[in-house]
Chain A
Amino acid sequence: MDRIELLQSMVEKDKSNIQAWYMLGEELLQQENLREALYAFSMALAENDYTMEQNVIAYLSKVFSSLEGQSRNTDEENAYNLASVRHVEDDDQPNPDEVEKTVELTVIHGKKTDNISSLKQYQPKTVTFQDVGGLDSLKKTINMKIIKPFMDPGLFTKFRKKTGGGILLFGPPGCGKTFIAKATAGEIGANFFPVHISDILDPFFGQSERNLHDVFKTARANRPSVLFFDEVDTLGYSRSKANSDIMRPLIDSMLTEMESIDTGTDNLLIIGATNMPWDVDSAFKRPGRFDKLVFVPPPDMEARQTIFQLKLKEKPLSSDISLEILATKTEYYSGADIENVIELATENVLTEIMETNQERLIGMEDLLYAIEETIPSTLEWLQTIKNYIKYSNQTGLYKEVAKYINKVLL
C-alpha cells in the first residue's frame, strides 16, 4: 500500500483527522494532483485549527513560489540550451560528447523531483577563461590540474596518473574564487552548481545530511557538472576546533559523498573555495577529496586593468583616464577593493556636484584620490598566511603562496 492509499484509508476512517488530511494534501501535491490536493487541504482546515491554518498557508506559499520560479526559469533554460546548440554548431568538428551535452541539458526541464529543486541559483550564463582578465599563471595551473584531466582522462589513465578528487581554491577574500570556479565550469562545458552552507543547513535532525545528498544527486542528474562549495570551511569546519559535535554527521556525509565520486565516469567535478584553508578539516585535504590546493592570488596588473575597465564601463568618465596608472597604483587590491575605489570616487564626485550644482565627469584625479583613501583588504590575509607558513612549513601545502609572498611582499 503506498503512502497516499494509506492516508486515504486513514481519512476515510476518521474524517476529522486534520493531520492526515494535511499529509494527504502534501502527497497529492507532490504527485501534481492539484485538485484533490486542494480538497485535502480544505478538509484539513475544516476544524478551524490555527496552527494547521498556518502550516497549510506556509506549505502552499512555498510550493507555489517554487512553481513560479520554475516557470520563470523556463525561458532562461531554453535560451541556455539554444546557446549550447549554437556552440556545437559553431565548432568546426562537432564533438559527439557535446551533442550529448545538449540533450542532457534538456533533461533539466524535468525538475519534477521536489527534493532536488533546492539549487535556486542555477545560472545559465556561461563564463570562460576569456572573461577572466590576467591571472595567466593561475589559469595555466587550473588548466593542467583540473581541466585537462577532466576533459581527457584517457591520457592520464595511460600514464597511470590518478585523476579525480576535488579542488580547493583558496586566497584572500574578494579575489574572484567564485568567478574562477564558474569560468572553469565554462571551460569544460559543464553545468555550474554553487552551494552555500545556508542551502544545506536545516534545523531538523538529519535534514542537513539529506539536503547535502540531494545537492550531489542534482549535480549527478545534470552532468557534466561542477559542484561549487563556496566558503567550504563553514561546511567542512575542522572537527578538532569545533566547540560542538553538531556538524560531525554533516562532515562525515560530505566526505562519503566526495569519496563516492569517480571523476572519470561521473563527469562531476567538486570545487571548494575558502579564505581560511586552515579551518578546513584535514580529512578534506586527503587524496580523493580536495587533494589539489590552488592559490587564487590578488589580481595581477592585467587583471586589475580589466577590472577597472569593466567597472568603469557605465560611468561618465573624462578622457584622461589611464587604466595602466590605476592598475599600477592598486597593487594587492582585490576585485572588491577596486569596486570600492570606484564607488568612493563616484560618491565624491556626486557630493561635489550636489554642493556646487555644476555637473562634471569622473576624472583621473578622483580615482587616484579614492585609491589614496583606501587600503587593500588582502594585506591582512597575506600577513596571516605568511605567519601561518612560517610556523607550518612541514606540510608544503602552501608552497605556491610562499612563492607569491616571497616575490611580492619581501
Chain B
Amino acid sequence: MCEEQYANDRKMIEHYFSMDRYEDARPIIENLLLSDPQDPETLYLMGVVYLSREQYTEARELVQEALRNGYNPEYAFFFIGLTYQEQKMYAEAEDAYLRSLEINPNQANVNAAYGYLMLLTGHDEKAIKLLDEAIRIDPDDSAVNDYVYRFYLAKNDGSNQAQYLQRTMEIARNEQEKLINIAVYHLVKEDTKTAEEYLRQLYLLDPTNKHVLEVLEEINRTNHMLFLPNRLIDKIGGPAVFYIGFIILVLVLTWADINSIAIVILALYLITAGYTWLAPLLYRLFVKGKI
C-alpha cells in the first residue's frame, strides 16, 4: 500500500475515532491489516475497536500482539491495564499499570487510572496519592480530573466534589463530558429533577446511548404522577413501615371500638396497596413509549 493511501486511511480512522464511531473505522483498519497484518499501529487501533465493543480479552490480545511487534510499551501496558480493570481482574490491571509507570512514571492518565483502581480495591490513601500525582503531572487533562471527581463522589466529599465538578466543566473535551459530570453530581445529591434535565440534554446529543436512556427512563418513571402514592409510601419509610403503621392503626381503632373508621382505613389501605401494585402496569400500558 502506498504511503499516501496509508496516510489517508489513518486520517479517516482518526476522524471516526474522534466521533466515537469505532465500528465505522473497523473496515478501514481491517483493510490496513490485510496489507500489513503485523503493523503494530494498526493492531493497536483494532484493539481500540474491540475495547469499544467491550470485548476486552480480544482487545488485549491485539494490543499484546502490537506490543510484540514494537508498539510503544507505555501506551500498550496502559491499554492492557484498562482491559483487565474492566474485567475486574484487578491484580493483573495493577501489574500492567506498574509496568507502564516503570517505563515512564510521568504519565498523568496512567497514574490516575491506577489511583482509581486503588479506590475500587479499597486502598483510599494510595488512591488519593496517585490521583494527586496525576493532577501534579497534568492538571489540565480532562480524563485525570474525571478520575479525581469520581473519587470525591465515591467518598461523598461535598466541597471537593463541587471544586472538581467546576474543574471538569472548564476542561471537558466536549459537551457530553460536561453534561455527564453535572448530571451525576445532581444524581448523587438526589436532585433528580435537575439531573433529569441534564440527562435529557445529554441524551439529545447522543440518542444511541442506551445507558443514559435507561437512567432517564427510570427517573421519568419514578417522578411520574402515577407513582405519587409509591413515592409517599417511600417517604414515610417504605412499604414495611406503611404496612405496620396500618396494622397498628386498625388495631387501635378496633380496640377503641371505632369500627366504622377502621373499615374505612382498611378499604383505603387495600385500595392504596392494590394501586401501588398496579401502577407499574398502568405506566407501561398508558405512558411508556408514548411520544
Q: Identify the A interface with B (CB < 8 A).
A: 54, 58, 197-198, 201-203, 234, 237-238, 240-244, 246-247, 276, 278-279, 384-393, 402, 405-406, 410
Contacts and interface: CB of A to CB of B under 8 A. Distances in A.
Contacts of A386: 289, 291
Contact of B18 (A246, A392, A402): A246
A241 B207 CA distance: 12
Contacts of B175: 240-241
Nearest to B5: A58
B213 A392 contact: no
Contacts of A410: 289-290
A241 B289 contact: no
Given A243-B173, A384-B207, A389-B291, A203 B18 contact: no
Contacts of A387: 203, 207, 213
A390 B173 contact: no
B15 interface: yes
A240 B203 contact: no
Given A203-B7, A203-B8, A243-B20, A391 B203 contact: yes
B208 A197 contact: no
B207 A201 contact: no
B205 interface: yes
B11 A201 contact: yes
Nearest to B28: A198
B205 A240 contact: yes
Nearest to B173: A243
Given A201-B12, A247-B15, 9 more contacts: A234-B16, A234-B21, A238-B205, A241-B206, A384-B207, A387-B213, A388-B207, A391-B203, A406-B291
Interface string B167-189: 00000011110000000000000
Interface in B191-219: 200, 203-208, 213, 216
Contacts of B205: 238, 240-241, 278
B176 A241 contact: yes
Interface in B54-81: none
B221 interface: no
A10 B191 CA distance: 73
Interface residues of B, number: 33
B200 to A, nearest CB: 5
Nearest to A242: B18
Nearest to A386: B291
B102 interface: no
B271 to A, nearest CB: 31
Contacts of A391: 200, 203-204, 216
B256 interface: no
Contact of A198 (B12, B14, B174, B207): B12
A278 B206 contact: yes
A238 B174 CA distance: 10
Contacts of B206: 241, 278
B285 interface: no
Contacts of A388: 203-204, 207
A402 B291 CA distance: 7
A410 B290 CA distance: 8
Given A278-B204, A278-B205, A391-B203, A203 B11 contact: yes
Contact of B19 (A54, A58, A242, A406): A242
A279 B206 CA distance: 8
Contact of A247 (B12, B18, B207, B213): B18
Contacts of A242: 18-19, 174
A241 B174 contact: yes
Contacts of A246: 14-15, 18
